[in-house]
Amino acid sequence: MDDITLYCFAQSGNSYKAALMLNLCALPWTPRFVDYFNGETRSEAYRAVNPMGEAPVLEYTADGRRERVSQSGVILDLLAGATGRFGWADEAGRREVLRWLLFDNHKFTSYTATYRWLVAIARNGDPAVLEFLKARMLGAFAIAERQLGTRDWIAGAQPTIADLSMCGYLYFEDEIGIDLGREFPNLKRWLGRIAALPGWKHPYDLMPGQAPARP
């Protein structure tokens, strides 16, 4: 796997999942800035890169061919297979990682990312929508908080791509407006454990783009 390029932008926690994995695995990679805020992901050109219209997208060369992969969970799975890092020991372990990866996509990241988007970036959410999303986000947080009450990592004895997926938006804690240390102390300690892994960086230090301006 050579010449790795990651389509990404700093505000995207989904991009961060892939960027963090690349950094933790010490793989050389080049960011390709996605100009999301000027509508790039809605353009026909971008839809040709990813019909789902999302970041991240990973491009790399293998066996002389240029390959392209989208969906953060697929990129994480691919990189775990290629590096032997942050994966699983057996089939039961693989299923447990997949279970949390799906939970992350279905409820954990999905509500968190959308809520954070509305409160910190768009800042035009209807109060009922914000309340709806926040309640579901907190419900997902509570499930992870409980899971982390009896273990250090989400899906195994060691950190896996499930941890790297689920942490995607949580270093934006101040933008989300939740005091994790007070309300979800297990989550907060788990984020500290991930941040202590060699190669860890905050999303705003890892990808092109910048933090949203303060209101």
Cis peptide before 28 (omega within 30 of 0): no
Phi, psi of 144 (to 5 degrees): -70, -40
Strands of the chain (E only): list them: 2-8, 29-33, 57-62, 65-70
Is residue 143 involved in binding its own copies (CB under 8 A)? Answer: yes
Is residue 53 involved in binding its own copies (CB under 8 A)? Answer: yes
Among 3, 37, 99, 195, binds its own copies (CB under 8 A): 99
Enumerate residues 151-190 that contact its own copies by CB under 8 A.
Answer: none
Is residue 126 involved in binding its own copies (CB under 8 A)? Answer: yes
Contacting residues for 210 by C-beta, under 8 A, at least 6 apart: 10, 204
Question: CB-wise, 51 or 198, nearer to its own copies?
Answer: 51
Is residue 12 involved in binding its own copies (CB under 8 A)? Answer: no
- DSSP tag of 121: I
Give the whole-angstrom CA distance, residue 187 versus residue 93: 21
Q: Is residue 2 within 8 Å of residue 60, measured between CB atoms? A: yes
Question: CB-wise, 99 or 195, nearer to its own copies?
Answer: 99
Smallest distance from its own copies to CB 196, Å = 26
Question: CB-wise, 94 or 201, nearer to its own copies?
Answer: 94
Give the whole-angstrom CA distance, residue 79 versus residue 98: 14
Is residue 135 involved in binding its own copies (CB under 8 A)? Answer: no
Binding part of the chain for its own copies, among 2-10, 26-34, 46-54, 184-192 by CB under 8 A, reads 46-54
Q: Is residue 18 within 8 Å of residue 76, measured between CB atoms? A: yes
Q: Footprint of its own copies on this chain (CB under 8 A)? A: 51-53, 69-74, 77-78, 95, 98-99, 101-103, 105-107, 109-110, 126, 128-129, 132, 143, 146-147
